[in-house]
Structure 1
Amino acid sequence: MRPQYHFRDGPDGLMAWDMRKIAATTEHLTPQSVPLENIAELDENWWFAHGTTPTPRAIAGHMKLIQSADRTYPIILDSEGRLMDGMHRVVQALLAGDTTINAIRLPRTPAPDYIGRDPSDLPYNP
């Protein structure tokens, strides 16, 4: 998995979770089918909410990631059912006309790895 983070606004600033760590904790969990209509993030500003601009080049980059997404890997939801990882797979499923996707729901949402850091300041080296 490439280094990537899940971001959410928090009371003390932007919260970031290292998705490599989260994914490692899900290996023993059983995926379940989740209706795409339950993925609220499909109707939110997901990729461009934290300082990036939706330029045509940036959108094309996400289109490539959507095309190459591997849906044999389940998406990851937090303990409340919010998406933490897998938006490219979710969009791929939506474009394919699917109504469900396999997901792993965390029994407990872990504390963020970083709080108050700009996304560009996080380590992105493998």
Structure 2
Amino acid sequence: MKRIAFTLMQVLGLIAAWYAADRAAAWLGLPFSGGVVGLLVMVALLLGGVLRPTAIEQGADWLLSNMLLFFIPLVVSVVQFTGLLKEDGWRLFAAIGIGFTCVMIATALTVEWVCRFERGLRLRRLRKERGLP
């Protein structure tokens, strides 16, 4: 029961952070969504050591494991626009495909960069501990 409450608190914290970032992006008139602002702030807090990964890990894992449920309303709403799909469906699917490919490439490059960065930090720490140059 304690784990469920802890996970729920983390999910609510992540939702509150998203909402605050969304409101800030709207208030500042930024040309991108609050989700992007929230992501940048969250990464900065994690890298700066202000927020520990364990503080949001269970909530983030739950959200990621149930992500498909959040897309069901989107899929249902597509059924209402069959005329649009008949006329411009190929353009929409091309845009989705290109966007999906860009996201996958950006994610892969980011993960690779973070892994190299962490390996470099560990290597420097080990060298320092062992007194190597």
TM-score (norm 1): 0.28
Give the greater-gyration-radius structure (CA): 2
**Higher normalized contact order (CA 8 Å, seq sep 6+, divided by chain length):** 1
Whose helix fraction is larger, Structure 1's or Structure 2's? 2
Whose strand fraction is larger, Structure 1's or Structure 2's? 1
